[in-house]
A = this chain, B = another copy of it.
Amino acid sequence: MSLTSRPIHVTYAYQQVAEEIEAQILRGELKPGDQLPGETELAQMFGVTRSTVREGLRQLESDGLVHRPSPRRLEVAVPQADQLTTRAGRAMALMKVSFRELWEVTMVTEPLAARIAAERASLDEIELLQGLHADLVAAEGQMARTIELDEAFHTRIADMGKNRVLGLAREPISLLLFRGFSQIAPYATQFYKRQIEAHSNIIAAMRDRDCDRAEKWARMHIEDFWRGAQIAGLEDAVALNPRALS
Protein backbone atom coordinates (compact mmCIF):
# COMPACT_ATOMS: atom_id res chain seq x y z
CA MET A 1 0.00 0.00 0.00
CA SER A 2 1.45 3.29 -1.02
CA LEU A 3 -0.34 6.07 0.68
CA THR A 4 1.10 9.33 -0.41
CA SER A 5 1.62 11.13 2.84
CA ARG A 6 2.89 14.63 2.61
CA PRO A 7 4.84 15.26 5.77
CA ILE A 8 2.52 17.48 7.71
CA HIS A 9 3.99 20.84 8.25
CA VAL A 10 3.66 21.82 11.88
CA THR A 11 4.53 25.45 11.95
CA TYR A 12 5.41 26.69 15.36
CA ALA A 13 4.64 30.21 16.32
CA TYR A 14 8.22 31.40 16.08
CA GLN A 15 8.47 29.91 12.62
CA GLN A 16 5.35 31.66 11.48
CA VAL A 17 6.72 34.91 12.74
CA ALA A 18 9.92 34.35 10.80
CA GLU A 19 8.08 33.25 7.70
CA GLU A 20 5.72 36.16 7.74
CA ILE A 21 8.53 38.68 7.97
CA GLU A 22 10.53 36.77 5.38
CA ALA A 23 7.59 36.80 3.01
CA GLN A 24 7.20 40.52 3.39
CA ILE A 25 10.84 41.05 2.60
CA LEU A 26 10.75 38.76 -0.41
CA ARG A 27 7.64 40.44 -1.70
CA GLY A 28 9.42 43.73 -1.45
CA GLU A 29 7.04 45.21 1.09
CA LEU A 30 10.04 45.58 3.33
CA LYS A 31 13.09 46.88 1.57
CA PRO A 32 16.73 46.56 2.64
CA GLY A 33 17.53 49.25 5.14
CA ASP A 34 13.99 49.53 6.45
CA GLN A 35 13.75 49.52 10.18
CA LEU A 36 11.53 46.99 11.87
CA PRO A 37 9.36 47.64 14.90
CA GLY A 38 10.66 46.71 18.31
CA GLU A 39 10.29 43.26 19.70
CA THR A 40 7.49 44.22 22.03
CA GLU A 41 5.54 45.76 19.23
CA LEU A 42 6.12 42.80 16.95
CA ALA A 43 4.97 40.54 19.73
CA GLN A 44 1.74 42.48 19.97
CA MET A 45 1.27 42.51 16.21
CA PHE A 46 1.63 38.77 15.92
CA GLY A 47 -0.17 38.07 19.16
CA VAL A 48 2.67 36.15 20.72
CA THR A 49 5.19 36.72 23.46
CA ARG A 50 8.41 38.51 23.07
CA SER A 51 10.32 35.27 23.60
CA THR A 52 8.59 33.78 20.62
CA VAL A 53 9.30 36.78 18.45
CA ARG A 54 12.91 36.64 19.50
CA GLU A 55 13.33 33.06 18.40
CA GLY A 56 11.91 33.95 15.04
CA LEU A 57 14.18 36.92 14.75
CA ARG A 58 17.24 34.85 15.59
CA GLN A 59 16.35 32.66 12.67
CA LEU A 60 15.91 35.52 10.27
CA GLU A 61 19.08 37.04 11.55
CA SER A 62 21.12 33.99 10.81
CA ASP A 63 19.36 33.73 7.46
CA GLY A 64 20.86 37.10 6.77
CA LEU A 65 17.49 38.66 6.07
CA VAL A 66 17.57 41.03 8.99
CA HIS A 67 20.48 42.50 10.78
CA ARG A 68 21.27 44.47 13.90
CA PRO A 69 23.75 47.31 13.45
CA SER A 70 23.25 47.97 17.11
CA PRO A 71 21.08 46.10 19.55
CA ARG A 72 18.56 48.88 19.28
CA ARG A 73 18.19 48.85 15.54
CA LEU A 74 16.67 45.94 13.72
CA GLU A 75 16.63 46.43 10.00
CA VAL A 76 16.12 44.51 6.81
CA ALA A 77 19.53 43.47 5.61
CA VAL A 78 21.05 43.67 2.21
CA PRO A 79 22.19 40.13 1.50
CA GLN A 80 25.80 39.63 2.44
CA ALA A 81 27.91 37.50 0.18
CA ASP A 82 30.28 36.47 2.93
CA GLN A 83 27.44 34.99 4.93
CA LEU A 84 26.67 32.65 2.11
CA THR A 85 30.32 31.94 1.59
CA THR A 86 30.75 30.87 5.17
CA ARG A 87 27.73 28.68 5.04
CA ALA A 88 28.60 27.05 1.75
CA GLY A 89 32.17 26.53 2.83
CA ARG A 90 31.03 24.89 6.00
CA ALA A 91 28.65 22.64 4.13
CA MET A 92 31.29 21.54 1.69
CA ALA A 93 33.74 20.84 4.46
CA LEU A 94 31.18 18.79 6.34
CA MET A 95 30.34 16.92 3.17
CA LYS A 96 34.03 16.12 2.93
CA VAL A 97 34.36 17.18 -0.66
CA SER A 98 37.57 16.21 -2.36
CA PHE A 99 40.11 18.42 -4.01
CA ARG A 100 39.09 16.89 -7.30
CA GLU A 101 35.56 18.16 -6.93
CA LEU A 102 36.75 21.61 -5.99
CA TRP A 103 39.28 21.68 -8.72
CA GLU A 104 36.95 20.59 -11.47
CA VAL A 105 34.67 23.49 -10.80
CA THR A 106 37.46 25.96 -10.26
CA MET A 107 38.78 24.87 -13.62
CA VAL A 108 35.82 26.55 -15.26
CA THR A 109 35.10 29.41 -12.89
CA GLU A 110 38.52 31.02 -12.83
CA PRO A 111 39.01 31.10 -16.58
CA LEU A 112 35.57 32.62 -16.92
CA ALA A 113 36.41 35.17 -14.28
CA ALA A 114 39.62 36.10 -16.06
CA ARG A 115 37.82 36.36 -19.38
CA ILE A 116 35.09 38.71 -18.31
CA ALA A 117 37.49 40.69 -16.18
CA ALA A 118 39.69 41.23 -19.23
CA GLU A 119 36.62 42.42 -21.03
CA ARG A 120 35.23 44.77 -18.42
CA ALA A 121 37.82 45.82 -15.90
CA SER A 122 38.69 49.48 -15.72
CA LEU A 123 42.31 50.52 -15.95
CA ASP A 124 42.25 51.49 -12.30
CA GLU A 125 41.10 48.05 -11.34
CA ILE A 126 43.85 46.46 -13.37
CA GLU A 127 46.31 48.71 -11.60
CA LEU A 128 45.01 47.59 -8.25
CA LEU A 129 45.34 44.01 -9.30
CA GLN A 130 48.90 44.69 -10.32
CA GLY A 131 49.55 46.01 -6.83
CA LEU A 132 48.17 42.86 -5.31
CA HIS A 133 50.41 40.86 -7.57
CA ALA A 134 53.41 42.86 -6.46
CA ASP A 135 52.59 42.04 -2.85
CA LEU A 136 52.44 38.41 -3.77
CA VAL A 137 55.81 38.51 -5.47
CA ALA A 138 57.24 40.18 -2.39
CA ALA A 139 55.81 37.51 -0.15
CA GLU A 140 57.81 34.75 -1.77
CA GLY A 141 58.61 32.01 0.62
CA GLN A 142 55.92 32.83 3.16
CA MET A 143 53.39 30.19 2.50
CA ALA A 144 50.49 31.43 4.59
CA ARG A 145 50.81 34.92 3.18
CA THR A 146 51.17 33.65 -0.34
CA ILE A 147 48.02 31.62 -0.06
CA GLU A 148 46.10 34.52 1.34
CA LEU A 149 47.27 36.83 -1.41
CA ASP A 150 46.66 34.30 -4.13
CA GLU A 151 43.14 33.86 -2.93
CA ALA A 152 42.67 37.61 -2.81
CA PHE A 153 44.07 37.90 -6.32
CA HIS A 154 41.58 35.49 -7.73
CA THR A 155 38.68 36.99 -5.86
CA ARG A 156 39.67 40.40 -7.12
CA ILE A 157 39.65 39.16 -10.68
CA ALA A 158 36.21 37.69 -10.18
CA ASP A 159 34.97 41.00 -8.82
CA MET A 160 36.37 42.83 -11.79
CA GLY A 161 34.11 40.88 -14.10
CA LYS A 162 31.14 42.52 -12.42
CA ASN A 163 29.26 39.29 -12.27
CA ARG A 164 27.86 38.82 -8.81
CA VAL A 165 26.58 35.37 -9.55
CA LEU A 166 30.04 34.21 -10.41
CA GLY A 167 31.39 35.89 -7.31
CA LEU A 168 28.88 34.14 -5.13
CA ALA A 169 29.40 30.77 -6.73
CA ARG A 170 33.16 30.68 -6.81
CA GLU A 171 34.08 32.26 -3.52
CA PRO A 172 33.51 29.37 -1.15
CA ILE A 173 35.05 26.97 -3.61
CA SER A 174 38.21 28.90 -4.21
CA LEU A 175 38.52 29.49 -0.52
CA LEU A 176 38.61 25.81 0.22
CA LEU A 177 40.77 24.97 -2.74
CA PHE A 178 43.40 27.62 -2.30
CA ARG A 179 43.60 27.11 1.43
CA GLY A 180 44.17 23.51 0.67
CA PHE A 181 47.27 24.57 -1.12
CA SER A 182 49.04 24.57 2.19
CA GLN A 183 48.82 20.82 2.03
CA ILE A 184 50.39 20.53 -1.36
CA ALA A 185 52.88 23.38 -1.30
CA PRO A 186 55.67 21.35 0.31
CA TYR A 187 55.59 19.01 -2.65
CA ALA A 188 55.44 21.60 -5.38
CA THR A 189 58.44 23.76 -4.80
CA GLN A 190 58.66 25.36 -8.21
CA PHE A 191 55.04 26.27 -8.04
CA TYR A 192 55.75 29.78 -6.87
CA LYS A 193 57.55 30.73 -10.04
CA ARG A 194 54.85 29.33 -12.24
CA GLN A 195 52.22 31.05 -10.21
CA ILE A 196 53.88 34.39 -10.61
CA GLU A 197 54.33 33.84 -14.29
CA ALA A 198 50.69 32.94 -14.75
CA HIS A 199 49.47 35.91 -12.76
CA SER A 200 51.69 38.25 -14.73
CA ASN A 201 50.40 36.91 -17.97
CA ILE A 202 46.82 37.26 -16.87
CA ILE A 203 47.37 40.88 -15.99
CA ALA A 204 49.14 41.50 -19.26
CA ALA A 205 46.31 39.93 -21.19
CA MET A 206 43.84 42.08 -19.33
CA ARG A 207 45.81 45.18 -20.27
CA ASP A 208 45.53 44.13 -23.90
CA ARG A 209 41.85 43.32 -23.44
CA ASP A 210 42.72 39.90 -24.77
CA CYS A 211 39.96 37.78 -23.29
CA ASP A 212 41.11 34.55 -24.81
CA ARG A 213 44.62 34.92 -23.53
CA ALA A 214 43.46 35.86 -20.07
CA GLU A 215 41.22 32.85 -20.02
CA LYS A 216 43.93 30.56 -21.29
CA TRP A 217 46.45 31.64 -18.67
CA ALA A 218 43.92 31.30 -15.94
CA ARG A 219 43.22 27.78 -17.08
CA MET A 220 46.87 26.91 -17.17
CA HIS A 221 47.30 28.35 -13.75
CA ILE A 222 44.60 26.14 -12.31
CA GLU A 223 45.95 23.17 -14.19
CA ASP A 224 49.27 23.76 -12.50
CA PHE A 225 47.53 23.63 -9.22
CA TRP A 226 46.20 20.24 -10.09
CA ARG A 227 49.60 18.97 -11.04
CA GLY A 228 50.76 19.99 -7.60
CA ALA A 229 47.91 18.09 -6.03
CA GLN A 230 48.80 15.06 -8.11
CA ILE A 231 52.41 15.18 -7.06
CA ALA A 232 51.28 15.44 -3.48
CA GLY A 233 48.89 12.56 -4.07
CA LEU A 234 45.98 14.58 -2.77
CA GLU A 235 43.59 14.34 -5.70
CA ASP A 236 40.92 12.69 -3.64
CA ALA A 237 41.91 14.06 -0.30
CA VAL A 238 39.32 15.92 1.68
CA ALA A 239 39.55 19.66 1.82
CA LEU A 240 39.64 21.01 5.33
CA ASN A 241 37.39 23.71 6.57
CA PRO A 242 39.42 26.89 6.86
CA ARG A 243 37.47 27.84 9.94
CA ALA A 244 38.32 24.58 11.60
CA LEU A 245 42.02 25.30 11.43
CA SER A 246 41.97 28.08 13.98
Contacts and interface: CB of A to CB of B under 8 A. Distances in A.
A112 B104 contact: yes
B94 A79 contact: yes
Quickly give the copy total for this chain. Answer: 2
Contacts of A128: none
Nearest to A177: B165
Q: State which size class the interface on A falls in.
A: 35 or more
A112 B112 CA distance: 13
B78 A84 contact: no
Contacts of A214: none
B101 A112 contact: no
Interface string A27-39: 1100010000000
A166 interface: yes
Interface in A1-58: 14, 25-28, 32, 51, 54-56, 58
A193 interface: no
20 contacts: A26-B94, A26-B243, A26-B244, A56-B58, A59-B62, A62-B63, A63-B87, A79-B91, A84-B84, A88-B88, A95-B164, A101-B163, A101-B164, A102-B165, A104-B112, A104-B163, A105-B163, A105-B166, A108-B111, A169-B173
